[in-house]
Every structure is written in structure tokens, then in C-alpha cells.
Amino acid sequence: MFDLKIQRSFDFYTRKILLLSFIESAKVENVHEVILRIKFLKDVFPSVFLIGGFLGVLLSFVLKNGISRLWKIKERKLTPLSKWKVSSQFIWFFILSGVMIFGGRYIENSIVVKIGKNLLVISCFVYFLMGLGILDYNVKRMKFPPFMRYVLYTLSILVYPVPIIFGITEVWFKMRR
């Protein structure tokens, strides 16, 4: 039922984009790229929804700790990002997602490909957070000035594959010594 409603809304917007493409015939090639991106977003919607829920819970936990500190109420604190790690066994989810994406295309099973894409998005998000932790650890260790910290954090978020690569390589090479 829920999947049917999502499918209808994406189909509606796809038709709107196709209508615009006929109006502006010079940009038809770009419209096809947009349609492919919309289809990708439709495929990974469950993982994006899950990540959004996680970020909402994290934000409420941070706000709760801030209010508790303001009112001097003792609360359990979050593990600092610089110390946060994921188990080395988590790499198998990343590998499994790649196998599911490529294997699902080989056997032409779209459900397997969709599950693989969702696993890939979730595992990349986890490794992104781990990569930010590595960056945070090294920035604190090297005692960068606050302005430089914000510049590095902003750049790492804008160039998001770099923290993901740091997070994945942390499985084999210890980057926090």
C-alpha cells in the first residue's frame, strides 16, 4: 500500500518532468538524467528514511543533553565522535551490498538490486560517520585553531566520499594512534 503511493507520486513527478522536456526540447538530455536520479531516490527511499530517523533521534539526544547540562541534571553522555568506531565485521554489509547490486543485475532481479542499494547507502552513512570521527580525532590531536576545524569539517561534508574512504580504510589500517 505504502509502496504503491510512493510509486504513484514518483510516476506523477516523472510525467511532469517529461511534459517539461517536451516544452523545452533543447534540454531533453538533462531530463533523462533527472528521471534516472528520481528512480534511484525511489529505490533507496527506505534507507534514506531510516537515516533520517536516526538523525532525528541523534538530534533529540543532543538537545536533551544540552538542556540537562543547562539545568545541571546528570545524564549519560554520547560517546565522542573521535572515539566512535563500528565493528570490523560491518565491512561485510558493505561487501554484501556490492555483491547484491552487481549480482542482482546479472541475474536480472530488481528486488536484490534495490536491497543492495539500500544496504550500500546505510553502510556508506555509517562509514561516513566513522570517517568524520577519524577527522575529529586527528584535528584534536594536531590542535588546529577553531576556524581551521570548521573549514575542515565543512570541506569533509562537501567532499563526502573522503570521510567514507577514511572510514572504510580504518577497518584495515588504524588511523587513530
pLDDT tens string 66-119: 888 888 888 777 788 888 889 889 999 999 999 999 988 888 778 899 999 999
Domains in the chain: boundaries: 79-177
User: Which amino acid would we find at residue 6?
Assistant: I
The neighbour count for residue 99, using CB atoms within 10 Å, is 14
User: DSSP letter at 24?
Assistant: S
Separation CA 52–CA 59 (nearest Å): 10
Which range scores top for mean pLDDT: 37-46, 68-77, 119-128, 138-147? 119-128
Nearest of 90, 176, 101, 153 to residue 125 by alpha carbon: 90
Nearest of 81, 79, 93 to residue 171 by alpha carbon: 93
pTM, rounded to two decimals? 0.76
The stretches of the chain forming alpha helices (DSSP H) are 2-23, 28-43, 45-70, 91-106, 110-142, 146-158, 161-169
What the block records as the C-alpha cell of 23 is: 516544452
The pLDDT of 34-40, averaged and rounded, is: 76
Which single residue is written with the C-alpha cell 577497518? 171
Q: What is the DSSP string of 143-170?
A: T--HHHHHHHHHHHHHTTHHHHHHHHHT
